[in-house]
């Protein structure tokens, strides 16, 4: 085997491992996703660079995964991985009152959670 082929082989092995890790015995993906938008309640304008994070409970700072930032159109996408059940989603931005909403995630599901934040 040539040394220059090693990175390609390593990438192929990694792809196989990741593919197997993202499936249950049924062979179906088990990823849950939360998507939505964050906008200004008064004007309806999208809020860019707002932080959106999934939480395991309403009174905890424990995130399920890392937070995401909204894009220029106020959109976000959180991958909650293998998690299924109740999840709390927190949206916050300086100058606005933060807001938390709960949602029920099923495996293999995409849930829409939109936020309208009020200015302080």
Q: Which CATH superfamily is domain 31-117 in?
A: Immunoglobulins (2.60.40.10)
Specify whether the CB–CB gap between 46 and 39 falls below 8 A. Answer: yes
Q: Given the structure tokens 């890392």, which residue do they identify?
A: 66
Please name which of 74, 63, 48, 65 lies closest in space to residue 100, comparing C-alpha atoms. Answer: 63
How far, rounded to the nearest angstrom, does the alpha carbon of residue 23 sit from its chain's CA centroid?
A: 18
Digitized pLDDT (tens) for each residue of the chain, 120 residues in all: 555 555 555 555 555 555 554 444 444 445 788 999 999 999 999 999 999 998 877 776 666 567 899 999 999 998 876 567 888 899 999 999 999 999 888 878 889 999 999 999
* Domain locations in the chain as residue ranges: 1-28, 31-117
| The pLDDT value given to residue 32 | 82
Q: Taking the complete model, does pTM exceed 0.85, yes or no?
A: no
| The pLDDT value given to residue 113 | 96
CA angle 60, 34, 45 (to 5 degrees): 95
Q: Which two tokens stand for residue 53?
A: 């994070």
């Amino acid at each position: 085997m040539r040394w220059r082929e090693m990175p390609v082989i390593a990438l192929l092995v990694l792809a196989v491992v990741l593919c197997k890790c993202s499936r249950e015995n049924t062979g179906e993906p088990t990823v849950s996703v939360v998507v939505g938008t964050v906008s200004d309640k008064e004007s309806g304008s999208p809020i860019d660079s707002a932080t959106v994070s999934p939480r395991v409970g309403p009174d905890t700072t424990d995130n399920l995964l890392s937070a995401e930032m909204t894009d220029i159109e106020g959109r976000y996408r959180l991958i909650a991985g293998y998690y299924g059940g109740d999840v709390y989603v927190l949206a916050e931005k300086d100058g606005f009152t933060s807001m938390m909403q709960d949602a029920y995630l099923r495996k293999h599901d995409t849930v829409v959670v939109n936020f309208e934040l009020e200015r302080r």
